[in-house]
Homo-oligomer: A and B are copies of this chain.
């Protein structure tokens, strides 16, 4: 496949206004602009696009799990076929290597197929049936049935750091489409071409599978105007977002101020504390330090699960750890970040640290780089210095991290309890370490969505049990996940049917269980 880029929003069948400002993708490795120019839609177009999605919803939501599964598989196949196009365009727009483009293509395709399998199986809807008891005293018991039903059109904002897996056909889109919700994707300005390639793949699947055209839209818009207008539109019923805390909280405010407030699932910022306990540090500190450097520099540190804060007991072992980590980070080559905005923010964050004059704080290594290239950074602070200098708790998105040494359990607990909500927390410890540090472990547990024992938080497994979420501000809604099959629940609501005739019930709730799914019948989980 060789996809021709048009520079236009993908809204098959709609006549849009001539369009607003145009912009181009930029190669972050040399700051050269990339063809074609992309035309932003104007706010008035949002009305037409939302209306098209709402009209599609009434039809799309009635598609069976088998039909939705085939649709998701068609999208996956189209993206797979466009692998070479993606491997050419995505690195040019993002500075990420071709291997990453191919790997992320694989993950994206895998996610789509995972949701296809989920809806083909069908049991995810949590079907429940409480059978009638007409003779119950003092009142008859009605027949009551319920299942998860889709919310309606969902707006998905593409992430800068995952041009595929959290963008046009990424996890939010896949889970929303699986749930039965049309999706309106707002492209990220930093990778418009990659977005269009994937968007064309989705649009082709919409057509080949006979889905209503409004099931999918991809729109380009500069600034925040178009995104805000989409979230305000009364026909939009939920929002998926991956990006900055400022962007996510702004969308939360817009959604909460609507006449009908709607849920916003924003995955924002996280520094992902890693706790290395004494016995483990003494026996395996150097190996952990080397492996940690790999996690910190993976993808030039541009993951929301990047380990940005390392807690370890002060002493000779911590000093050795710091030396090994510093050498490993210093040996890591400079590279370019996703775009100039992220590059500037990274250098600003480094500068805020390097200009900090504080007892107990030191710069171990710092390579802000030049022009389009940046390097790694490593800082070290005592627990006291960390707690006294809030700038150290701020996320520095990129290949840097901060070591914090503590001298007793109170200091350790103070640092953990000072953390805002996080996507992940990691503990390295021997069995004896873990037994001696239950309070610290529990404190970390309460602040994260995923607790790792050993290893590092980068590399999020896409599976049934994964939770990629966490207390605010790591996400806007710490009850949910944006990765794994549970992500589908975000775009649904429980809907109840009382004394409904068979012909008015969804297949999932009919007598005889025609879909053969697992259901909760009078409290018992069964396929009967």
A residues touching B (Cβ–Cβ < 8 Å)? 58, 123, 128-130, 139, 141-142, 144-146, 151-152, 252-253, 256, 260-261, 263, 420-421, 431, 434-435, 441-442, 445-446, 449-455, 459, 461, 463-467, 469, 471-473, 476-481, 486, 492-501, 503-504, 518, 520, 522-523, 525
Contacts and interface: CB of A to CB of B under 8 A. Distances in A.
B128 A465 contact: yes
B472 A261 contact: yes
Most buried by B among A420, A498, A499, A525: A498
A185 B522 CA distance: 31
A462 B525 CA distance: 18
Contacts of A260: 420-421, 471-473
A439 B501 CA distance: 17
Given A434-B501, A504-B434, A461 B130 contact: yes
A260 to B, nearest CB: 5
Nearest to A128: B465
A92 B145 CA distance: 38
A338 to B, nearest CB: 23
B481 A445 contact: no
B130 A465 contact: yes
Nearest to A464: B128
A146 B500 CA distance: 35
Contacts of A123: 525
A486 to B, nearest CB: 6
17 contacts: A58-B442, A130-B461, A141-B463, A142-B461, A145-B465, A260-B420, A260-B421, A263-B477, A450-B496, A450-B498, A451-B500, A453-B497, A455-B498, A455-B499, A466-B496, A479-B493, A479-B494
A518 B126 CA distance: 14
B144 A461 contact: yes
A445 B441 CA distance: 46
Contacts of A129: 465
Given A152-B446, A451-B495, A466-B496, 6 more contacts: A130-B464, A141-B463, A144-B463, A261-B472, A481-B496, A486-B494
A449 B146 CA distance: 10
B467 A146 contact: yes
Contacts of A453: 497-501, 504
A369 to B, nearest CB: 29
| Tally of this chain's copies | 2
Contact of A465 (B263, B450, B496, B525): B496
Nearest to A525: B518
Nearest to A423: B496
A142 B460 CA distance: 10
Contacts of A522: 464
A13 B459 CA distance: 48
A9 B233 CA distance: 45
Contacts of A469: 493-494
B520 A493 contact: no
A450 B152 CA distance: 17
Nearest to A466: B144
Most buried by B among A455, A476, A479: A479
4 closest A-B pairs by CB: A467-B496, A128-B465, A450-B496, A130-B463
B263 A479 contact: yes
A146 B498 contact: no
Contacts of A503: 431, 434-435
Contacts of A463: 130, 141, 144
Nearest to A469: B494
A295 to B, nearest CB: 13
A471 B253 CA distance: 19
A466 B146 contact: yes
A63 B507 CA distance: 40
A454 B13 CA distance: 42
B256 A252 contact: yes
A467 B494 contact: yes
A332 to B, nearest CB: 20
Contacts of A446: 152
Nearest to A518: B525
Contacts of A451: 495-498, 500
Contacts of A504: 434, 441, 453
Nearest to A471: B260
Contact of A495 (B449, B496, B518): B449
Most buried by B among A260, A435, A492: A260
Nearest to A262: B472
Nearest to A139: B459
A488 B496 CA distance: 17
Most buried by B among A152, A441, A471, A476: A471
A438 B151 CA distance: 19
A452 B256 contact: no
A469 B495 CA distance: 9
